[in-house]
Amino acid sequence: MSNARTRIFQRLTAVERPVVDLSARESLSRFAWDKEERIRRFTERMQAVRAEVHVSDREHWLDKLAEICQAKGLNHLLLSPNTEWGQAISQNATRFPTLKHYDRPIEAWKHELFHEVDAGLTSTLGGIAETGTLMLWPNGDEPRLLSLVPPIHIAILETDKLFSTFAEAVQQQAWAEQGMPTNAVLISGPSRSADIAQVLAYGVHGPKELVVVLV
């Protein structure tokens, strides 16, 4: 153990600690929003930050997605062939842009990922209505950069996983109890900045467009 560590701890433990009243800490904000209201709020928030939200369902989402890809003139779509969504898309590959799979470590195809992918498609762990937010837990199938490097990010969100607040999601999905993945990320719109004279600009470092398909 380093000396710095020892000395820091010596100082921190040498003093009398304050007693803290924890009652205020436990109040969890809740909203009695039904599913329809959650969808309405989610959509409103997302659209306010220039994200696209398309409402669909389990029967029609493939059609909707094909339509979106066509409208955007995509040449390539990066996805995992192993998720429920990826499987269905792969089986209907002729209706979609050229499908690419993130099936190797980044080092093996970094150039292609950075320069030759138009859009990345991911599933989501759920959404948050209050703030218009997607929750992603990237993994081996859907790695971290899938939702970050391509200029367009298309995400599929199941409406029965749409929570009112982040606090509720963390609690009901038992994030702490499960243990956190190496990376979890909340996404609430396309990449943006107001660093130049407070003028909003999109697509600074992450995707310029965020497209959410609700099923």
Partner 1 sequence: MSTEFRIDVQKALGKTEVRAHFRKAMDTLMTNRRNQFPDDAALQALRHQAQAIRANALSKLPELLEQLEAKLTAKGVQVHWAETTDEANQIVLSIMQKHQAKSIIKGKSMVSEEMGLNHFLEAQGIEALESDLGEFIIQLDGETPSHIIMPAIHKSKEQISQLFHDKFPDIPYTENVDELTASARRILRDKFYTASVGLSGVNFAVAETGTLCLVENEGNGRMSTTVPPVHIAVTGIEKVVEKLSDIPPLLSILPRSATGQPITTYFNMISGPRQADEKDGPTEVHLVLLDNGRSNIYSDPELLATLRCIRCGACINHCPVYVRIGGHSYGTVYPGPIGTILEPQKQGLKVHGELIQASSLCGACGEVCPVRIPIPNIINRLRYDSVRKDTEHTPTFDAGTKRKPLEAAIWQGWSWSASHPSLYNFGGTVATQLRGLVPNKVGAWTNVRTAPQLADKTLHQQLKALGVDHE
Q: Looking only at residues 123 through 152 of this chain, which bind partner 1 when binding is defined by CB under 8 A?
A: 130-133, 139-140, 143-145, 148
Alpha carbon distances (Å) from 109 to 74, 113, 116, 128, 164: 20, 6, 10, 33, 39
Check binding of 50 to partner 1 (CB under 8 A). Answer: no
Judged by CB under 8 A, the residue of 46, 125, 165, 211 near partner 1 is 165
Do 171 and 214 contact (CB within 8 A), yes or no?
no
Closer by beta carbon to partner 1, 44 or else 84: 44
Q: Looking only at residues 58 through 87 of this chain, which bind partner 1 when binding is defined by CB under 8 A?
A: none
Stretch that binds partner 1, among 53-61, 82-90, 97-105, 116-124 (CB under 8 A): 97-105
Alpha carbon distances (Å) from 149 to 28, 113, 162, 175: 35, 7, 25, 26
Task: Give the nearest distance from C-beta 46 to partner 1 in angstroms.
Answer: 11
142 Cβ contact partners less than 8 Å away, ≥ 6 residues apart: 80, 83, 102, 122, 123, 136
Stretch that binds partner 1, among 31-39, 57-65, 86-94, 170-178 (CB under 8 A): 170-178
Task: Give the nearest distance from C-beta 63 to partner 1 in angstroms.
Answer: 29
Judged by CB under 8 A, the residue of 120, 207, 211, 212 near partner 1 is 207
Check binding of 40 to partner 1 (CB under 8 A). Answer: no
Q: Looking only at residues 177 through 206 of this chain, which bind partner 1 when binding is defined by CB under 8 A?
A: 179-199, 201-206
- Residue 201's SS3 state is strand
Count the site residues for partner 1 by CB under 8 A: 77
Alpha carbon distances (Å) from 108 to 144, 149, 160: 15, 15, 37
Check binding of 32 to partner 1 (CB under 8 A). Answer: no
**Separation between Cα atoms, residue 136 and residue 144, nearest integer Å:** 9
Check binding of 173 to partner 1 (CB under 8 A). Answer: no
- Residue 163's SS3 state is strand
**Separation between Cα atoms, residue 87 and residue 163, nearest integer Å:** 26
Closer by beta carbon to partner 1, 136 or else 214: 136
**Separation between Cα atoms, residue 100 and residue 114, nearest integer Å:** 13
Check binding of 94 to partner 1 (CB under 8 A). Answer: no
Closer by beta carbon to partner 1, 11 or else 58: 11
